[in-house]
Amino acid sequence: MSLHPNEVLLAPVVTEKAYGLVDDRKYSFRVHPDAHKTQVRQAVEQLFGVKVERVNISMVQPKPKRRGMHKGKKPGWKKAIVQLREGDSIEIFQGAQI
């Protein structure tokens, strides 16, 4: 499946754990469920103008939720952790302070 780079990366992951990885040049993104490592690598390099060393992809499992008697599930999603080459950084993550 051919995806445009804007369709591959959906949003940055904004958590304390994700911001802790920024010091190691690792950035986390929520990605399209059909995207694979090569598409994620090409999208990050094209959109942010950086060189990618490594891409790790994992599926975030759906969580069961309950409100009173009603049971349901929050949807699962796909996450990519991208490690950049030495000296490269992505500016959207630079404004956050831990």
What confidence tier does 3 reach under pLDDT thresholds 50, 70, 90? confident
Residue range 87-96: average pLDDT? 75
> Looking at 1-98, which runs of residues are DSSP E strands?
9-12, 26-31, 52-60, 64-67, 70-73, 77-84
Which structural domains are found in the chain, ordered by start?
A: 5-86 (3.30.70.330)
pLDDT tens per residue, range 10-63? 999 999 999 899 989 999 999 999 999 999 999 999 999 999 999 999 999 999
* C-alpha dist (Å) from residue 91 to 63, 65, 86, 95, 96: 31, 35, 15, 8, 10
Q: Pinpoint the alpha helices (H) of 1-96.
A: 5-8, 16-20, 37-48
What does the pLDDT read at residue 90?
A: 87
